Amino acid sequence: MAPRASGEAAVTAPREAPGGAQAQVPQGAQGAQAAAPDGNTLTSVDEHLADVLAAIRPLPPTELGLAEAEGCVLAEDATARCPLPPFDNSAMDGYALRSADVAGASEHAPVTLPVTGQVTAGDTGAYAVAPGTCLRITTGALLPGGADAVVPVELTDAGLAKVTIRTAVEPGTAIRRSGGDARAGDVLLTAGTRLGPMQIAVLAASGHGRVVVRPRPRVVVLSTGNELAEPGTPVVPGRIWDSNSFMLAAAAREAGCLAYRHTALPDDPLALLPAIEDQLVRADLLITSGGVSMGGEHDVVKETLRRLGTVTFRKVAMQPGMPQGFGTIGEDRTPIFTLPGNPVSAYVSFQLFVRPALGALQGDGARRLPAVRAALTGPVRSPAAKRSFLRGVLDSAAGTVTPLSGQGSHQVATLGRANALIVVPEGVAQMREGDTADVLCLP
Ligand code: AMP
Ligand code: MG
C-alpha cells in the first residue's frame, strides 16, 4: 500500500492570497526551488516532504492481540462477525411483557400483572412470557420468548410477585433488536484506521481477539556533538546538556511509536557509523540530530553518511531547519532523517517531515499537524525566500495567535510556552497585527 496523500493543509502555501499588509517578494521565491543567499539551491518544504514520503514503504502487517494493537493501524477491514447486538435484549431494567396486555393502562387505570420470574444479563436459559404475565428483566438480558416490549421499572410500582403498571407501551419499547447496531458482515472499521480506545471497543464488542495491523514503528534517536552531556550530570563551560535526543524520542512516542534513545555520540565518524549499524536491528526509522550544517569537519553526520551514497543532504527553504538530510541505510533500506542540531530546528523538522513519514510507515497518510487560520496579535518577520515556522500561542476560542519573543533556533525556552507554529509563507517578509495566518497546532 502506498502512502496516501493527506487532505490537511499542514505545510501548504496559504489558502488566501496574501493581502496588501503582507510584504511581497517581487519574484522567484514561490516556486519549488529558490536561490539561497549563498547561491545554493533551496528545496521547498513541500518538495522535501514529497520526496521523503515517496521513499517510505509501509511496515509489513502483523497479527496482534487486541491489547497490543492499540495505537497500531488496521491493515485490513474489520467486519462484524455476528449481528450487533447479537440477540434481542432489554434496554432498561423493568418488566418484559406483551404490549397488548397493558394496552389500556394509564395513571388512572393501572394494570396489574403477575410476575413469573426474573431474567438478568448473562442468563442464557430459554425464558418465555405467557399471555397476561410478565418477567422482571435487567438491562442487557436476553428478551424472553413471547415478550414484545419492556416497561421500565420507573413506570411501575416495582413489585416482585405482581406489578402494577401505569402506562401503555408500543411494541418494541425498550428493546434493542439484534442487528440494530450492525449486521453480520458489515464493515465496522476500514483498513488504514488508527486504533484508539473507541476503535478498540468496536473490535472487542464484535468479538475480534486479534487483528491484522501495521505495528507502531520502532524509532531510534541518536544525537551527535562533542559538547553534549547527559542531563543530570555536571557540565563545565563549553558543554551543554543533550536535549534533542530526549525531545525527539518523546515526540516519536507522542506520534505513536516505540522510541529508543542512544546516549549522545561524539563528533567522530569512527563512533557514529558503528553506532548506527548497531541500532539497525531494532529500528524501523532512525533519527540523528546535529552534524549536518555547512560541511565543516565537525559535521560528522553529513560527512559519514554522504559517503554511503544513500542519504541526500539539502537546504530546505524553511526557518528554522534549513539543513536537512534524508535517505535509507542498511540492507533493509531503513529510512534515516538527519536533523539539524539546534533544538527548535530539530523539533520543527520532526513535526514537518518525520511525523508524516512515521504515519506513512503505518499506512496512515493523515499524520500531519492540523492546520487552522488565526489572526495575529502582533507583527512577524520572515526571510522572504523561506517559509518560517514561528512559535506562538494559539487561542482557538478567540481565533488569535500570539507570536512569542525569542524565535532563535537555539531558544528552547520559547518551545516550552508554544502550542502552535505560525506559518509565514515564502515570498512574505512580514505580516502585521490583525493579518490572518496559517497556524499549525502542535501536539
Ligand atoms: P550542529 O547541528 O551539530 O552544528 O549543532 C547546532 C547547534 O545545536 C549547536 O549550538 C549545538 O550545540 C546544538 N545542539 C546540537 N545537538 C544538540 C542536542 N542534542 N541537544 C541540544 N543542543 C544541541
Ligand atoms: Mg554538532
**Parallel/antiparallel/unpaired status of strands 420-424 and 436-441:** antiparallel
Per-residue pLDDT, 410: 94
β-partners of residue 375 are 400, 436
CB 387 within 8 A of CB 318: yes
Residue for cell digits 549522545?
Answer: 264
Q: Is the torsion defined by CA of 368, 370, 372, 378 positive or negative?
A: negative
| Alpha carbons 194 and 412: distance in angstroms, whole number | 32
Ligand nearest to the CA of 240: 1
Best of 239, 240, 292, 337 to mutate for ligand 1, by most ligand atoms within 8 A of CB? 240
Q: Is the torsion defined by CA of 419, 15, 398, 404 positive or negative?
A: positive
pLDDT by residue (tens digit) across 162-182? 999 999 999 999 999 999 999
Nearest to 70 by CA among 211, 202, 197: 197
Q: How far apart are the first and last CA of the chain?
A: 27
| Alpha carbons 131 and 148: distance in angstroms, whole number | 11
CB 136 within 8 A of CB 82: no
Q: Please, how many CA atoms are within 13 Å of residue 149, restricted to the half-sphere of its CB?
A: 19
**Parallel/antiparallel/unpaired status of strands 323-329 and 334-339:** antiparallel
Best of 233, 267, 289 to mutate for ligand 1, by most ligand atoms within 8 A of CB? 289
Per-residue pLDDT, 307: 87
Say which DSSP state 156 is in. B
Per-residue pLDDT, 295: 61
Per-residue pLDDT, 166: 96
CA of 419 to the centre of ligand 1 (A): 23
Q: Please, how many CA atoms are within 13 Å of residue 397, restricted to the half-sphere of its CB?
A: 0
Per-residue pLDDT, 324: 97
pLDDT by residue (tens digit) across 228-241? 999 999 999 999 99
Residue owning the nearest CA to atom 17 of ligand 1: 341
Average pLDDT of adjacent 10-residue blocks, the chain of 443 residues: 34 35 39 49 97 96 97 97 97 98 96 98 97 98 98 98 97 98 97 97 97 98 97 97 98 97 95 95 97 79 91 96 96 97 98 97 92 98 97 98 95 95 97 98 97
| Alpha carbons 94 and 235: distance in angstroms, whole number | 71
Q: For residue 340, give the ligand 1 atom closest to its CA.
A: 2
CB 282 within 8 A of CB 332: no
What residues line ligand 1, using a CB cutoff of 6 Å? 223, 225, 227-228, 240, 242-245, 289-293, 340-343, 410
Peptide bond into 85 cis (omega under 30): yes
